[in-house]
Amino acid sequence: MIFFRRWKYLIPTFRRAEERDMQEELDSLAAMSSEGELGNLTRAAERRREAWGWTRLEQLARDVRYAARSLRKSPAFTAAAVVSLGLGIGANTAIFTLIDALMLRWLPVHNPQELVQVTLRAKGVADPRENFNYPLVRAFADQEDVLAGAAGFSGANFSVGRPGALIRTPGAWVSGAFYETLGLKPEAGRLLTRQDDETSSPVVAVLSYNYWQRQFAASPAAVGQSILINGYPVTIAGVSPPGFNGANVGSVADITLPLAAMVPMNINGGVLLGPGNYWLRVLARPRMGVSVAEAKARLNAAWPAISAAAISPGMPRWLQEQIRGARLELTPGGTGWTLLRARFEKPLLVLMTIVALVLLIACANVANLSLARGAARRHEVGIRLAIGAGRWRIARQFLIESALISLCGGLLGVALAVSGSRALLSVLSSGPFKIAFDLTPNLHLLAFTGAVALACAILFGLAPALEATEGEAPAALKEDARMSHSGSRLRSSLVSLQVALSLVLTIGSGLFLRTLQNLRTLDPGFESEGVLLAGINEQRAENRPPQLTALFNDLVDRIEQVPGVLSASVSDNTPMSGGTWSEAAVPKGQPLPDHDSANFIAIGPRYFETMRTPLVSGREFTERDGAASPMVAIVNEAFARRYFPGRDPVGSYITATVSRPPVDLQIVGVAKNMALDGLRSAPPPAVYVSYFQRSQLAPTMLNIRVTGNFADAERAIRAQLQPRLPKIPLDIHGLSEQVEGTLLQERLMAMLASAFGVLALALAAVGLYGVLAYAVARRRNEIGIRFALGARQGQVLGMIVRDAARLVAIGIAIGLPAAWAASRFISSMLFGVTPMDTATVIWATATLALAGLMAGFLPAWRASRVNPMETLRNE
């Protein structure tokens, strides 16, 4: 209460009025009392002022004004400090922005902290299963006494519009309880309900707010309209609220369809709704009053009944047993789900450590600059101490200056981080996934940057503050007051620390660069340069294999007639597409294992010619290896080596589970190993089967080797294909792009680690230069005397360079073991180099030593040009 009455005295007008009023009152009281009866009136006024005034705050404001003035007076120092900190804080904020967007942000839904992700942990399996089949999702949603709702979802791409004008639109398949579980309210129309998720219901879609704005200009009339999705008319039921883009973090779902619509829309014949396909992530919300532990216990109690829905008759017995014996787990799910989290968590944490080290170096730099400045201000401080300022008051003055510098650095950092994190995101998006993050600054971010800036202020401000107030006032007042010994030692150790940290970062960036280089120069077993891939993903059930053979043979023929096309082939998968198909396969006569033992790819004629993968023995598939001919296979070297050691498998038979029951295939060729799943892993045993002998429907890729301009070839190919495939949007891209996409993490690490390494090196060099330049300035007289006594220029030069070399050497001596310890944490991210790769360590140490000597040379040269007469005259 008292505070409210006091607030008004924050306003100068009220303060002045109160002052006048008090003076008037005191005058009137003095007039009516006898002389001296009231004692010291000035003292009384002062004590009364404490009751209503804001003395401490006014003092603080005065200190801030004074600090700002004093910083303005040394613009070079201020600029250097603010820029160092700005770069450091900016780098930290940028990386933290991504970490926040990826891992920490709540989904924009009702009470996200209540949501849990349902996973299934099987005995003896390391990672819990995150994917569930459609019957299970429905079974979870029916556990109404435990769960208020359970939502299954998976991202998808839809083709929207008429044939000839199809637009590929990101979307999601969701279960009927999706919106109900998340607790969202429609922006227009209505959201999907459980009723919509029935195969007999009319097919309806929910649009995202952004899509509704973009495509329908946010018109309310959009609700009820019909749009063509994958060629099927779908009614727009409503629009989800702004900010919500689906539960898959990092990807946008513009159109959401109920899962059951797969049947009327004839998506893969609705086979994905069967019990054999585990592809849906599940978020659930325990019923009000049911704790997570309780919900978990009750769901597990119900599991024996639910798990019937989990098992498909086609599953091998061991898998059925495993699922029956598994336990459900509930983990916090309010931040949504994303594949990116597992992929980028470690790189981002490593980057966070790197930028934290950069910031530490920047802080050391600013501390050093402030120490030097503090030394120059000893005279000022001495005077203030002598006329009665308290030590705390002076230390506070220094801390306030540090806080001001931090504040400016923080603001600069945020500005840099906004553009920096956007640039980072575009690098991340250049990979196989399009990534959409909400990067608008939020409270997390402000709190983070604020805390970082404050920590910096304390980190670099404390040393100069203590240093400045140390020692006796009279000593500080002496004319030749010099830097105390402890201060110069502190400054030197700060520089050595900077050198050590930059060595760690330089070695790290060297390791990441080598990793990228090793992976890029690795022979993947094919030539990705010059190969175009045309994806024909939309498989329609009416295209049965016999027609497909004719269709694809025709397509390949047409493409091969396009000028610039060398060869073309068809396959169901391409190297490093992100997906693989595996089956059990062994030489005929051996028992089939329970688990898949080889990767499979279905390919057409001239596949290896198009990929430029050499055949070690035997032949490629030809047009004759069709449905009516004997089943044939080509195996890779790894398969041959494992199952046919020491002999040529061509002519032998293998048994494989490509259909049920397993069939025998005759090996007609052996191909060189191709990297299929990624460059890092050794190619696993692989079996190629003829595309036209596959019994199941498969996605289709056309592989096309072209010469000359990619864009021209792409246009010509599109012109040939599109009339034959009017209902299918063609996705054409280069194979080398696809391969490069798998190197995203490595590229990101190499790029950022080297950028931050260079920054660290530059900061450390500036720090070293500062310390030496200051030392030279301080020792001018001494150096002058040395010259007067007959020292040669070379000797003085050597003296200062030796100082520099000593600081750098100490830094390297600390940095090497530190790098050794740190590099073990990143060893899993490296490829083809050991964590303490000798060449990298030597290169990094040499770079650092060179930078150090260069930074030391300028002050040394200046020292060697000191004019003895001038300095002696000063003495």
Residues within the interface to another protein (CB under 8 A): 1-2, 5-6, 21, 24-26, 28-29, 31-33, 37-41, 43-45, 47-48, 50-52
> Least Å distance between CB 213 and another protein?
54
Cα separation, 763 vs 74, whole angstroms = 20
Q: Which residue number, 5 or 485, has a Cβ lying nearer to another protein?
A: 5
Quick check: helix, strand or coil at residue 633? Answer: strand
Q: How many CA atoms lie within 13 Å of 87's alpha carbon, on the beta-carbon side?
A: 21
Choose between 5 and 647: whose C-beta lies nearer to another protein: 5
In whole angstroms, the minimum distance from the beta carbon of 89 to another protein comes to: 42
Q: What's the rounded Cα separation, in Å, for the pair 704 and 714?
A: 10
Kindly state the smallest distance separating residue 39's Cβ from another protein, in Å. 5
- Give the nearest distance from C-beta 7 to another protein in angstroms: 11
What is the C-alpha separation between 227 and 233, in angstroms, rounded?
6
Rounded to whole angstroms, the Cα distance separating 255 from 170 reads 7
Closer to another protein by CB, 6 or 724: give it.
Answer: 6
- For the beta carbon of residue 809, count every other beta carbon within 10 angstroms: 14
Question: For residues 26 and 730, which CB has a smaller minimum distance to another protein in the complex?
Answer: 26
Is the Cβ–Cβ distance between 843 and 850 less than 8 Å? no
C-alpha–C-alpha distance, residues 203 and 263, integer Å:
10
284: β partners: 116, 150
CB of 366 to another protein, least distance (A): 43
Specify the pairing of strand 255-258 against strand 204-207: antiparallel
Q: Which is nearer to another protein, 50 or 523 (CB)?
A: 50
User: Could you tell me the smallest distance in angstroms from the CB atom of residue 48 to another protein?
Assistant: 4
Residue closer to another protein by CB (options 37, 875) is 37
Compute CA 605 distance to the chain's CA centroid, rounded to the nearest angstrom.
Answer: 41
Distance CA 83, CA 76 (A): 11
- Least distance in angstroms from the C-beta of 59 to another protein: 19
Identity of the residue, 15 or 391, whose beta carbon is nearer to another protein in the bound complex:
15
CB neighbour burial string for 313-332, b if at least 16 within 10 angstroms, e if fewer: eeeeeeebebbeebebbbee
Least separation in angstroms between CB 25 and another protein = 5
Paired tokens of 278: 């585990």
* For another protein, the closer CB: 23 or 547: 23
Closest contact distance (angstroms) between CB of 31 and another protein is: 7
Q: Using the structure block, give the residue that is written with the tokens 């995101």.
A: 425
**Which one, 21 or 198, has the nearer CB to another protein?**
21
* H or E element in which residue 602 lies: strand 598-603
CB nearer to another protein: give 25 or 664.
Answer: 25
Nearer to another protein, 23 or 793 (CB): 23
Smallest gap from residue 44 Cβ to another protein (A): 4
Backbone angles phi, psi at 159, to 5 degrees: -100, 115
Q: How far is the CB of 239 from another protein (least distance, A)?
A: 54
Long-range Cβ contacts of 765-768 (<8 Å, 24+ apart):
765/851, 765/852, 765/854, 765/855, 766/80, 766/84, 766/365, 766/855, 767/361, 767/364, 767/365, 767/368, 767/494, 767/495, 767/498, 768/495, 768/498, 768/499, 768/804, 768/807, 768/808, 768/852, 768/855, 768/856
Tokens describing residue 473 = 């006032």
Q: How far from chain centre, in Å, is Cα 150? A: 29
